[in-house]
Amino acid sequence: MIIRNLTALLIFMIMLFFLVAGNCFAGELDRFKGEKQVLRISGGTAHIPVMKEAAKRIMTFNPDIRITIAGGGSGAGIKQVGEGLVDIGNSGRKATEAEINKYGLKMIKWAIDGVAAVVNPKNLVKTLTRQQLQDIFSGKIANWKELGGNDKPINVYTRDKASGTRSIFWKKALEKKDITSRANVVVSNGAMKTAVNNDPYSIGYVSVGFINDSVFAIVLDGVKPTMDSVKQGQYTVARGLYSNTKGDVKGLAKKFIDYLLGPEGQKIALEKGFIPVS
C-alpha cells in the first residue's frame, strides 16, 4: 500500500511539473498574441536549427504569423539585414565596425558555439595538434600517412569567406594561416557534414552543435570539442551566435529575439547543442 501511494504521488508530481512547465512556456508565447506579420530571417547556418524550432512553436501558437528562414552565411545575413531585405540577419561572428557604421546594426548574442575539425568516422586519425591542423589546411601535410593514417591524399573541405563558422575556425584554430586553394568549398554546416561523411579521406569543420555520428570531432591539442569543454573554456575555438537588426530591435523582431533570450528559447538552444547565455 505504501509503495502504491508513493508511486501515485510520484506520478502526480511529474504531471504537476509538466503542467507548470507547459504553462510557463505558454506564457512565453503570449507575447505573440494578436500579431499578423511576416518575419524574415537569414544568415548564419549554425543558427538554423534553433530558428526553425522557435519559428515552429510560434507559428503553431499563432498561425497568423509567418516566419521565413534562409541561410547564406554570416556575411549574407549582415548584408541583407543592413539593406532591409530581412528583419533579422544572423551571424556567427561579431559584425565589424565598418558593418556596424554602414548599416547601423544592433547585435544580440543569444548562445555560444564551438567549431570543431571533423573527419570521416572511419578515419584512423582521431587527434591532432594545432600545428598539424594548420599544416593540413595549408596543404603542407597532404597525405593521411604522415599522421598515422592510411596512405591516401587528404581532401580538405572549407566554407566560403562569408561564413562565420569559417571565420572563427580560421582565426582561432588555424591562427589566420592560409587555407589551400585546392580545398573544396561547401555552403553550410549541414553540407559539410554530408561531404565529410561521404568522403573517407576528408577533413572539414562544423559547429559543435551539429556534430553527430555521421562525423568524428578531432581531439585538438588533447581537448575533445564538446558542449562542456566549450562552456568551461577548455576548448577555445568558440564564438557567439548573434542576431542582428538594422537600428534598435522592435516589433515582431524584438518579440522573437526576446523569446530566444527567454527560458524557452534558451532551452531550445541547449537542446540543439549550443550553450545558453542566460
Summarised one tens digit per residue, pLDDT across range 225-243 is 998 999 899 999 999 999 9
Each as own residue / partner, the long-range contacts of residues 208-214 (CB below 8 Å, 24 or more positions apart, any chain) are 208/113, 208/114, 208/115, 208/116, 208/273, 209/46, 209/49, 209/113, 209/272, 209/273, 209/274, 210/46, 210/273, 211/116, 211/118, 211/273, 213/121, 214/121
Provide the number of structural domains found in the chain.
Answer: 2
Read off the pLDDT of residues 178-190 as tens digits, 9 standing for 90 and up. Answer: 999 999 999 999 9
Model pLDDT, residue 3:
43
Q: Take residue 174 and report the three cell numbers written for it.
A: 588555424
What's the predicted TM-score (pTM) here?
0.76
Question: pLDDT tens across 114-167, in order?
Answer: 999 999 999 999 999 999 999 999 999 999 999 999 999 999 999 998 898 999
Q: Are 78 and 154 in the same domain? A: no
Same domain, 77 and 180: no
Query: Considering only CA atoms, which of 257, 243, 208, 256 is closest in space to residue 42?
Result: 243
User: Mean pLDDT over residues 32-38, rounded?
Assistant: 96
Same domain, 35 and 80: yes
Domain of residue 212, residue span: 114-238
Consecutive H or E run containing 69: strand 66-72
Q: Are residues 105 and 175 in the same domain?
A: no
Give the separation between CA 93 and CA 7, rounded to whole angstroms: 50
